[in-house]
Structure 1
Amino acid sequence: MDLQGTKEARTQEEGADGPLDAYGAGSGRSKEYHKSDGRDAHSHETPSNVHPLRRRQPPFSYPPGTRPPTAAPGSGSGSGSTSHATPRPREPSPSPEAISIPQALGLGSRDQRLLYKARRYPPVTKRTLSELDLPCIMSNINLRMDANFDRDLHFKPDLDGEKGKRKRKDAADYWDSMATEIAIYAYRAANPDDDVDEKSSRDSNSKRTFEPRLPAMFETLQEVIKTLVPERDHPSVTQNLEVSLLMQQVRKGVLDMVALATWMAALLKTHCAPMRDEWSDRMVEQITEGSQSQEPKEIVKGLQTLFAILEAMKLDVANHQIRTFRVLLIEDTVPFLQEYFEGKISRGSFQVEPARLWYLAARDRAHKEDEKSPTATQSDDTFKPLEALFRGISDRLLQFHPPEDFPETFLFDSDRLWQLRSTIQNLINLEIAWYIFESYVHTQKRYLSSRDETYSTFRSRIWSLMEDELCSEGRCATPDDDPDLRGSKRWLQNMRCIALEIARFACAACCLDVVVADEVISPIEAALEWHLSNESELFRYFQNAMREKVLAATLASARRFLPLSPLAICESQRTVPPPPTANGPAPTIPSSTASTPAVSCSSSSQSMSAQQYDIERIGMRLAHMGVLHWRVWASLLYLRDGAADANPNPPAFV
């Protein structure tokens, strides 16, 4: 299942030697709890991952009185067959529980295909919900890290993107096949004489049989409910959901689904939040209506609602546990990660040498920069190692082309770093657009009378255009969306609208006609496209200006955070004042990139209050990540013995 806000709620088991996959970044801030899809491992349950109770029946067995088919030596099809011919694979014989499909129902090809191919278990099972159990929450490293940065972290189902679309389709296929199966049970109960030839039909035409899903659904229902109610209610659950008895009643056509639904609703109302009561009543209504009208699809709607209630109850419990143990999760972040990574490194399953060399190169570049700028503010020697870390990671956030990746030691922060890079690049892109606007105004021999107010309105309009672009796509971007440049793809796609907005501002500033002429838009659009697409001198100017501002804000925040505990660092950021302007901070428009212009028209010489707020927030976020990262890795890797002699020739400054 997927937590919203992330990328994927992947539990990192202590001592596991598998790849360290982040459970995901998200927004909202919630985390998508994924139905363990292996990353979709729970989507298709296999003999290796099904509940032990489900292993009682073999995958298939031969009907009584028959023997497994054996290939006679040298047998083949046709006179030309030889003993070396590959035998044609035989389809497995149906199990004793297999049900034949009555021809009288006249099922369509899709219904028959779903009976054969749809998943056997409901979308919500005990296993898919297991990552919401407290032990899994406590051992989920990504969740522990996200708890440091998000006070409102919570789980919710992940139904976005391609994976979510696939899950929705699998679930729809399952419930459609369940409706058809219920119709078959009803037909066979009403026509018992058609059951005489079931065995021979199963033997002679296995393609007309399918493995039933209803027993597994009842068994799953019992398992899941037991995880949600106190142990004192387990006997009642077992009694009312006894699979063999329920299936016997189904085959006889005497199962009272309304009474069963009413009992389940009463049980769930006793233990779930009051806000779920209406949902429970709806489930009873749907099953009642379906039972009275003999409409299987309506009964299935009630079953869907039932499993949705169970999933919501589990999410409620998990989110309550996150809130309850949030302080413990945060305060234990550093020792937990140190112990985890020490084990990984000692077993050789986590390679850190490239990250160590990256840090040494960043430290050497920082030393050379200090030598070239003796007048710059010098940090004390104890702070310089951490400052080198911030300089190195800032370079990757600000470079024109997206980095291939961040150092492996930032594994559980990579999503946050990509988001910071996106925000920084958007700020640079905004400066490009503002520079082009001011340049055009100056070419018309005009000057802005109220520059700060104009900038604030301009900024708000450009962000609105970019937000509209993202909303129209209905999804959040990821680093992989824009592999070409520094994320300028979205700006380039929306360039015509941005150019038109700049032209409108220019015409207003120059007192031109309200109708924007093409001779105004064309040069603005051409300049915008050039500066967004090329790593020019203009880009490097604004890159350096942004680097100085971000580094200054980051280092100032880091000095404040160093003596604080992880919880105190987290709580200190709640007191940050709101943005000084109505338009607020720049939205995180993932993967937007562009380049920045050379200094002209003093577009960067005056500090804008809204931009200052954004940079302060970026600096606090980066400092928070960096200080926690340093506490985990400084003694473990960056400052270990012999570090000073490694990598004597670091790469040139990027």
Structure 2
Amino acid sequence: MDFLKQKAEHEALDVPYLSKYILNMMTLLCAPVRDEAVQKLENVTDPVQLLRGIFQVLGLMKMDMVNYTIQSLQPHLQEHSIQYERAKFQELLDEQPSLLNHTTKWLTKAAADLTMPPPTCPDTPDSSSVAGPSPNEAANNPEPLSPSMVLSQGFLNLLLWDPENEEFPETLLMDRTRLQELESQLHQLTILASVLLVASSFSGSVLFGSPQFVDKLKRVTKSLMEDFNSRPEEAMLTVSEQVSQEIHQSLKNMGLAALSSDNTASLIGQLQNIAKKENCVRSVIVSFPAHRSADPFVSQMLFGSWCAEVSVRPPWRPYSH
């Protein structure tokens, strides 16, 4: 370096020769993905632009080397990091025994929910068609709880989490935003399913046996539910009127008997009641999957992708208050 510095001071430095030598060395040392960038530098004639490009590519080569080193050491790092984090986690638990109180309460409640029979709703249309064991059968034949069943029930409880409840599980604080997004989607699906359930009880199996009619009703309901969170009563008023019109028109087109004035009024009234949180239809729809979380098929449908993502995450780091 001192020799090159002296040459530069005496204006005797052969920049093209030196640049070509550097580019040749870079070609030998760089990863194949950088070959194109190095070849482009060979056509640069401006010394300033050439040196700037060389340093830029050298920076990328440095990152390539770092990534390769980390990748080659990853199995050893991962093994030791797990042991290290377990040890540090145990130290935190020893120092703060109450560190996971909220997580313990969350899982305890999930286990308790699985041992309770699902709520019934006698006023729900076609509630007898919902498959599932009766409360007496569930009490007489309790299934042994497994960790996966309790965890699935716990995740379902998180989707119905009260925003005012500050006892959120410590182990899932980093995922709270994602869970809130899922909760919003579940809320929309619950309203949509409630509308379809009420509409099906009035329109009959013939009309609801048409996939085109059901799809149209879904699209209409979903488009009118955009303001449900801010104005639920007004949104459901619009939905009830539109759904009633769609059913009336479809029955007419199929040559079926139209709804009577009493049935129409009852349909509109039940659809408007869906805006209430304590609505019986909404309660049944929300509670049914929660009490079926022990079913492996339901658990896989609800949490298959979630568990796949969790399995590839780095180990959890305890949240410190």
Relative to the length of structure 1, the TM-score reads 0.30
- After TM superposition, list the pairs within 5 Å mapping 1:192-231 onto structure 2: none
Distance 1:389-1:449 versus aligned 2 partners, 3 A rule: closer
The Cα shift of 1:374 comes to: 6.5
- After TM superposition, list the pairs within 5 Å mapping 1:175-574 onto structure 2: 242=1, 256=14, 258-285=16-43, 288-291=44-47, 296=48, 299-319=51-71, 321-322=73-74, 325=75, 329=78, 335-346=83-94, 348=95, 351-356=96-101, 358-360=103-105, 362-363=107-108, 366-367=111-112, 370=115, 375-376=137-138, 378-380=142-144, 383=145, 388=150, 391-399=153-161, 401=163, 406-410=168-172, 414-415=174-175, 418-419=177-178, 422-423=181-182, 425-436=184-195, 447-451=207-211, 510=250, 535-537=277-279, 539-549=282-292, 551-553=293-295, 556=296
Distance 1:253-1:398 versus aligned 2 partners, 3 A rule: farther
Distance 1:396-1:612 versus aligned 2 partners, 3 A rule: closer
* Residues in 2 aligned to 1:321 and 1:310: alpha-carbon distance in whole angstroms: 17
Please tell me whether the aligned partners of residues 26 and 38 of structure 2 are also in contact (alpha carbons under 8 angstroms).
Answer: yes
The Cα shift of 1:280 comes to: 1.8
Distance 1:448-1:386 versus aligned 2 partners, 3 A rule: closer
Distance 1:436-1:319 versus aligned 2 partners, 3 A rule: farther
1:197 match: none
Query: What are the superposed Cα offsets for residues 539-595 of structure 1, whole Å, 9 maximum, x if unpaired?
Result: 54433233234x325xx49xxxxxxxxxxxxxxxxxxxxxxxxxxxxxxxxxxxxxx
1:176 match: none
* Residues in 2 aligned to 1:512 and 1:304: alpha-carbon distance in whole angstroms: 72
| 2:209 partner SS | coil
| 2:291 partner SS | helix
Identity %: 15
Query: What are the superposed Cα offsets for residues 399-447 of structure 1, whole Å, 9 maximum, x if unpaired?
Result: 2538657433456xx33x6545644642452343354467568777882
Query: What are the superposed Cα offsets for residues 433-477 of structure 1, whole Å, 9 maximum, x if unpaired?
Result: 35446756877788233449966x969xx8xxxxxxxxxxxxxxx
The Cα shift of 1:248 comes to: 5.8
| 2:115 partner SS | helix
| 1:318 partner SS | helix
Please tell me whether the aligned partners of residues 159 and 182 of structure 2 are also in contact (alpha carbons under 8 angstroms).
Answer: no
| 2:207 partner SS | coil
Distance 1:316-1:404 versus aligned 2 partners, 3 A rule: farther
Distance 1:371-1:433 versus aligned 2 partners, 3 A rule: closer
Please tell me whether the aligned partners of residues 265 and 280 of structure 1 are also in contact (alpha carbons under 8 angstroms).
Answer: yes
Distance 1:318-1:362 versus aligned 2 partners, 3 A rule: closer
Which AA in structure 1 matches 2:142?
A: Q
Please tell me whether the aligned partners of residues 102 and 168 of structure 2 are also in contact (alpha carbons under 8 angstroms).
Answer: no
Distance 1:433-1:274 versus aligned 2 partners, 3 A rule: same
Distance 1:358-1:280 versus aligned 2 partners, 3 A rule: same
Distance 1:354-1:255 versus aligned 2 partners, 3 A rule: same
| 2:294 partner SS | helix
Query: What are the superposed Cα offsets for residues 2-35 of structure 1, whole Å, 9 maximum, x if unpaired?
Result: xxxxxxxxxxxxxxxxxxxxxxxxxxxxxxxxxx
The Cα shift of 1:277 comes to: 0.9
The Cα shift of 1:245 comes to: 5.6
* Residues in 1 aligned to 2:252 and 2:53: alpha-carbon distance in whole angstroms: 62
Query: What are the superposed Cα offsets for residues 238-280 of structure 1, whole Å, 9 maximum, x if unpaired?
Result: xxxx3x6666666666655544443343333333332221122
1:617 match: 304
* Residues in 2 aligned to 1:421 and 1:257: alpha-carbon distance in whole angstroms: 60
* Residues in 2 aligned to 1:613 and 1:450: alpha-carbon distance in whole angstroms: 29
* Residues in 2 aligned to 1:407 and 1:309: alpha-carbon distance in whole angstroms: 43
Distance 1:404-1:309 versus aligned 2 partners, 3 A rule: farther
The Cα shift of 1:301 comes to: 4.5
* Residues in 1 aligned to 2:177 and 2:17: alpha-carbon distance in whole angstroms: 53
Please tell me whether the aligned partners of residues 156 and 290 of structure 2 are also in contact (alpha carbons under 8 angstroms).
Answer: yes
| 1:289 partner SS | coil
Query: What are the superposed Cα offsets for residues 352-388 of structure 1, whole Å, 9 maximum, x if unpaired?
Result: 50423541464267447636666435344xx567755
Please tell me whether the aligned partners of residues 20 and 42 of structure 2 are also in contact (alpha carbons under 8 angstroms).
Answer: yes
Which AA in structure 2 matches 1:395?
A: N
Which AA in structure 2 matches 1:271?
A: L
Distance 1:396-1:278 versus aligned 2 partners, 3 A rule: same
Please tell me whether the aligned partners of residues 27 and 38 of structure 2 are also in contact (alpha carbons under 8 angstroms).
Answer: yes
Distance 1:360-1:612 versus aligned 2 partners, 3 A rule: closer
Distance 1:290-1:623 versus aligned 2 partners, 3 A rule: closer
Which AA in structure 1 matches 2:209?
A: S
Relative to its length, the structure with more helix (as a share) is 2
* Residues in 1 aligned to 2:26 and 2:167: alpha-carbon distance in whole angstroms: 47
The Cα shift of 1:395 comes to: 1.7
